[in-house]
Structure 1
């Protein structure tokens, strides 16, 4: 699948992560627009499964949200837990289109565009969930020990 999902806005707040953007260099099938999903895949975590959330398209635009608490793995894990973010049509059994911000002239977003983290508490464990740009300008989410 060619193209990517170009981010316009990233809103990490109120226990959720909201992503707004549009498809770039990919023409979706109009009949599938309502069934697209935001897919988060765990990086390097054996046995972890992808998390999927509704991300219906409005033409080429998407606006999707997910609860950040879902990204904190159940049971013990070795921090950080890393999740890669994708946008996928219903017939795509792979990852789909990578979500990122490639079309602006800002390079090195990983060091200059820092998003706030949100605390998630489970029992006596507090974790910090924070979206970030990778060195390839794609969006990922990390889960780290909180304060």
Structure 2
């Protein structure tokens, strides 16, 4: 960088799984993005961790080519054993060493939680909807009953 260039906002963003596309349909949530700030070699998996209960994560294959990744999360796996429960699942991309939070940090849209609203899907009485957190990370909200 020469003396006339300013550092961009992206140079200070920690490594993460940058989400480009979210496709909630047909009983799955399909995610497409790229690995930011870390070499993308190796075998990567999408990992879902239940907020407040990190002990039993769910994980699914992720296809990686270059720094681009793609994977699907089946919503039927999120049906709680307690039908009155409401769950939130955080999404990470992991290669066994690194655990990168999935989110959308590299655009200039702040406050995605209120701006980007995804449709919900229903399976066996469960309503599942992807959403962006206040920190622009991607999570899944799962509820039983009437409304999300």
Question: Shorter-normalised TM-score: what interval?
Answer: 0.7 to 0.9
TM-score where L is the length of structure 1: 0.84
* Matched residue, 1:8: 20
Alignment of 1:107-146 (within 5 A): 107-121=110-124, 126-146=125-145
Q: 1:66 to 1:119 in 2, by over 3 A?
A: same
Aligned residues of 1:119 and 1:146 also touching (Cα < 8 A): no
Aligned counterparts of 2:66 and 2:96: Cα–Cα separation in 1: 16
Cα shift at 1:78: 4.8
What runs of 5+ residues in structure 2 fail to find an aligned partner?
Answer: 1-13
Any idea what the Cα deviations from partners look like across 1:15-72, whole Å, max 9, x if unmatched? 00000000111113x3x1xx210000010137x5100000131010001012111112
Aligned counterparts of 2:63 and 2:30: Cα–Cα separation in 1: 13
* Matched residue, 1:36: 44
Runs of 4+ in 1 over 3 A off after TM superposition: none
Aligned counterparts of 2:85 and 2:78: Cα–Cα separation in 1: 12
Aligned residues: CA RMSD = 1.6
Asked if 1:80 corresponds to 2:86, the answer is yes
Cα shift at 1:79: 3.0
Secondary structure at the aligned position of 1:84 is classed as: strand
Structure of higher CA gyration radius: 2
